[in-house]
Amino acid sequence: MTPDIEAQAIKDNIARVQAEIATACAKVNRDPNEITLVAVSKKKPVRDILSAMDAGLTHFGENRLREAQMKIPAIAQQTDKEAIWHMIGHIQSRKAKHVVPLFDTIHSLDRPKIADYMSEVAVENEKTASVFIQVNISGEDAKYGYELSNWQTDSAVREAFWQEVKAILTLPNLEIRGLMTMAPYSNKAEDSRPIFAELAILHDSLREDFGLALPDLSMGMTNDFAVAIEEGATMIRVGRAIFGTRQ
Ligand SMILES: *Cc1c(COP(=O)(O)O)cnc(C)c1O
């Protein structure tokens, strides 16, 4: 059989990303096993995801419900390997009832209403939803995420968010893994460093004040995942470096 060139390209890309993860970890004395590589497969076909699974990946990220509803069952049918699905996109309230049962982890809890819905649906489905609270600390007008750019200087912003976290923690059947952020796009990875460093500080403050493990930090994409690892990421969400550019 002629080897599928696309499959080989994906395999090579994964090897390259894993080498870069190892390099970043070595720089800051971290164990690469602490890092979960979430391969962002949005807009990519089932075939490419199966190739990535053949190359050893397990974690996949999608950002649209409709697309995931087609791809996730198709993949389950075509392989015995296990895939773990991460929802990384904004969730419309009325879609929560479909998102919670379909995904293993949700990175985009970005407002009180969606927290309430996710909890309700998780209870109905008798499952615990594993979630990240998405925050915006860059100060740029990102579309989604709790607006926290001034949390260190404005005590009202900090207090409001602490109250919000407190409320989320009382909701049944939600397991808060930690925080997620997106740095504004830049082709210079270093531009993201202050944002990732600040997310790590926020994460530590929450852990300390609430006495919680909050084990994960979801940050870093194709252009800046090495920097994110240096600043403490435990989950990186990488699309283009694995699957190539998107339309
Ligand atoms: C698309 C996307 C990614 C991956 O971006 P790449 O630049 O392809 O690595 C990561 N996180 C979120 C939230 C995304 O929407």
51-88 pLDDT, tens digit each: 999 999 999 999 999 999 999 999 999 999 999 999 99
Q: What is the pLDDT of residue 226?
A: 98
Q: Is the pLDDT reported for residue 4 higher than 80?
A: no
- Give whole-number Cα distances, 221 to 152, 182, 187, 233, in Å: 25, 8, 11, 11
- Measured by CA distance, the residue closest to atom 8 of ligand 1 is 239
Pocket of ligand 1 contains residue 63 by CB under 6 Å: yes
- Measured by CA distance, the residue closest to atom 10 of ligand 1 is 237
Q: Is the pLDDT reported for residue 1 higher than 70?
A: no
For a mutational test of ligand 1's pocket, the pick from 65, 106, 237, i.e. the residue with the most ligand atoms closer than 8 A to its C-beta, is 237
Pocket of ligand 1 contains residue 50 by CB under 6 Å: no
Pocket of ligand 1 contains residue 88 by CB under 6 Å: yes
CA angle 54, 55, 58 (to 5 degrees): 80
Q: Cα separation of 81 and 56, whole Å?
A: 10
- Measured by CA distance, the residue closest to atom 12 of ligand 1 is 88
Q: What is the pLDDT of residue 54?
A: 97
Stretch 37-62: mean pLDDT, rounded? 98
Q: Cα separation of 239 and 140, whole Å?
A: 23
- Give whole-number Cα distances, 31 to 27, 39, 46, in Å: 10, 19, 31
Q: Mean pLDDT for the chain?
A: 96
- Measured by CA distance, the residue closest to atom 13 of ligand 1 is 88
Q: What is the pLDDT of residue 143?
A: 77
Q: What percent of the chain has pLDDT over 90?
A: 94
DSSP output for 84-109: EEEE-S---GGGHHHHHHH-SEEEEE
Q: What is the pLDDT of residue 247?
A: 85
Pocket of ligand 1 contains residue 86 by CB under 6 Å: no
Residues 6+ apart with CB under 8 A from 23: 226
Gap from CA of 38 to ligand 1 centroid (Å)? 10
Q: What is the pLDDT of residue 5?
A: 80
Q: What is the pLDDT of residue 3?
A: 65
For a mutational test of ligand 1's pocket, the pick from 20, 59, 62, 63, i.e. the residue with the most ligand atoms closer than 8 A to its C-beta, is 63
Gap from CA of 123 to ligand 1 centroid (Å)? 29
pLDDT digits (tens, 9 = 90+) for 129-155: 999 999 999 887 777 999 999 999 999
Q: Is the pLDDT reported for residue 185 higher than 70?
A: yes
Q: What is the pLDDT of residue 155?
A: 97
Q: Which of 241, 172, 232, 182 is nearest to 207 (CA)?
A: 232
Gap from CA of 236 to ligand 1 centroid (Å)? 9
pLDDT band at 2 (very low <50, low <70, confident <90, very high): low
Task: Tell which atom from ligand 1 comes closest to the C-alpha of 223.
Answer: 7
Q: What is the pLDDT of residue 140?
A: 79
Q: Cα separation of 182 and 193, whole Å?
A: 11
Task: Output the furthest CA–CA distance in the chain (Å, rounded).
Answer: 64
Is the whole model's pTM more than 0.85, yes or no? yes
Q: What is the pLDDT of residue 35?
A: 98
